[in-house]
Structure 1
Amino acid sequence: MPQLTAITRFPVKGFGPDRLERVELAAGQTLPLDRAWAIENGPGPFDPAHPAHVKKKHFLMLAGQRELAQVQTRCDPAGHSFTTHWPDGETLTTALNDTASHAPLFARLEALLGDQVRGALRFVQIPGRSLTDIPHPHVSLINAASLRDLKARTGQTIEPIRFRGNLLIDGLEPWAEFDWLGRDVMIGHARLRGQSRIRRCIVTSINPATAQCDIDLPAALMAHYGHADCGIYMSVEAGGDVAVGDRVEPPGLSRP
């Protein structure tokens, strides 16, 4: 029986994951605290007085600044503080909603990224929304069997975290998730609907342990499958509690 094997959020866009055992999903929302903050890379169009979705190029992001993978991170459960662990052993804890505490983190980022920093850094957020790559709320889902199939074809070790998905499931056939578009799926006590396939960019080529580009995964997907898609975006149609180990009920599967 298919089941949910991991839940992951990325509280600050471009930085590392928080791994969760359970989460309460709400209808029409993203995973709580997923991409709740971003760090603006120099002057940009984001207006905190009228916050709205802007393109990811205006923020620090792993696709543009792969050195960010060197920084291990953790956000507290309520989203008040963001802790970073640096390669030299230093640990910094930043109060996300207290601008006076941000300077030490920004100084470390400027030293790490050099001339990739285009100007003054600042945390931004849109209350009640996520700073994801697409404007509408979604939860991203990855099928572990699809990754195993890709691994078998490439001969490369491919960690699911490269794809920065929220929900990792197992127990399906490879690529079966593509058949869920426009259809409802039960995961735990929540009902989700497949919305679109996720077209992959160069960020998946970055090894999360070394921060090096060690395999061109978009090219590998294209070579082996004729597309660069992996995973799907899903909308939460009916909220509910979701936990690691929960049953996943694909479309057409009846409850016993």
Structure 2
Amino acid sequence: MPQLTALTRFPVKGFGPDRLDRADLKPGHTLPFDRAWAIENGPGDFDPAHPAHVKKKHFLMLAGQTDLAQLQTRCDTAGRGFTTRWPDGESITVALDDAASHGPLFARLETLLGEQVRGALRFAHIPGQALTDIPYPHVSLINAASVRDLETRTGHAIDPIRFRGNLLIDGVEPWAEFDWLGRDIRIGDVKLRGQSRIRRCVATSINPDTARRDIDLPAALMAHYGHADCGIYMSVETSGAVTIGDGVELPGPGQA
């Protein structure tokens, strides 16, 4: 039976993952604390007094600031602490809700990123709203078999974490997930509905171990499949828990 094999969130947009064993999902929400914070890259459109979706170009992001991949991160969502570990071994911990603690982190980021920093950095956070690339509160699903098929076509080892998805499943045919748009699947206690395919950007070209661009995955997808998509966005339809090892119930024939 197909299974959920990994469960991942990215508390601070553009930075490293938190790998989970279990998560509670609710309709109208993303995975808890996924992209809950972002770092605004100079003055932009983010207005905490009037929260709304902001395009990713206004924040630090892996697609634009590839050097962020050099950092190991850990987020204490309960205590609202965020720790970055740098290649030289230094660790910097900030309190996400205390702007007075952010200076040391921002100073090192300015040194690391140089001219890529467009102005003063600041954390952005909207309670109850994720700072994702899309304006909808969806979770992202990656099919491990699709990634393996892409590995075979390209001749490169590809860690699924490159696609920065929330739910990684295994045990279905490659690219079967594209057939689930507008249809329901169930993982653990939760029913989810396929909403749209995910078009991939240059962030997927960055090796998560070396922090270097080593393969142009959007170009590879286009060359081998005629599109640059990998994974799908899904809406949460019922409340419940998902746990690593949960079975995945797929849509039946003709289900709408």
Query: Could you say whether these structures have the same fold, taking a TM-score greater than 0.5 normalized by the shorter chain as the test?
Result: yes
1:79 to partner: Cα distance: 5.8
1:27 to partner: Cα distance: 1.0
1:77 to partner: Cα distance: 4.0
Taking the TM superposition and a 5 Å limit, the aligned residue runs for 1:69-84 are: 69-78=69-78, 80-84=80-84
SS of residue matched to 1:75: strand
The percentage of aligned residue pairs carrying the same residue is: 79
What is residue 26 of structure 2 aligned with on the other side?
26
What is residue 218 of structure 1 aligned with on the other side?
218
State the distance in 2 between where 1:160 and 1:74 align.
19
Taking the TM superposition and a 5 Å limit, the aligned residue runs for 1:134-145 are: 134-145=134-145
State the distance in 1 between where 2:93 and 2:247 align.
36
What is residue 86 of structure 1 aligned with on the other side?
86
**Equivalent AA in structure 2 for residue 42 of structure 1:** G
State the distance in 2 between where 1:203 and 1:239 align.
31
SS of residue matched to 1:149: helix
Matched, 1:205 2:195: no
What is residue 149 of structure 2 aligned with on the other side?
149
Taking the TM superposition and a 5 Å limit, the aligned residue runs for 1:71-220 are: 71-78=71-78, 80-220=80-220
SS of residue matched to 1:111: helix
SS of residue matched to 1:238: coil
Q: Is the Cα contact below 8 Å between 1:13 and 1:39 reproduced in 2?
A: yes
Shift in alpha-carbon separation, 1:245–1:175, aligned structure 2, 3 A: same
| TM-score, with structure 2 as normaliser | 0.97
Q: Is the Cα contact below 8 Å between 1:33 and 1:79 reproduced in 2?
A: no
| TM-score, with structure 1 as normaliser | 0.97
Q: Which ranges in structure 1 are unaligned for 5 or more consecutive residues?
A: none
State the distance in 2 between where 1:215 and 1:79 align.
38
State the distance in 2 between where 1:100 and 1:55 align.
26
State the distance in 1 between where 2:43 and 2:77 align.
30
| Runs of 4+ more than 6 Å apart | none
Shift in alpha-carbon separation, 1:168–1:79, aligned structure 2, 3 A: farther
**Equivalent AA in structure 1 for residue 160 of structure 2:** P
Matched, 1:48 2:83: no
- Kindly report the root-mean-square deviation, in angstroms, between the aligned alpha carbons of the 2 structures: 0.9
SS of residue matched to 2:135: coil
SS of residue matched to 2:133: coil
Which has the higher mean CA deviation after the structures are superposed, 229-238 or 70-79?
70-79
SS of residue matched to 2:237: strand
Q: Which ranges in structure 2 are unaligned for 5 or more consecutive residues?
A: none
Q: Is the Cα contact below 8 Å between 1:188 and 1:243 reproduced in 2?
A: yes
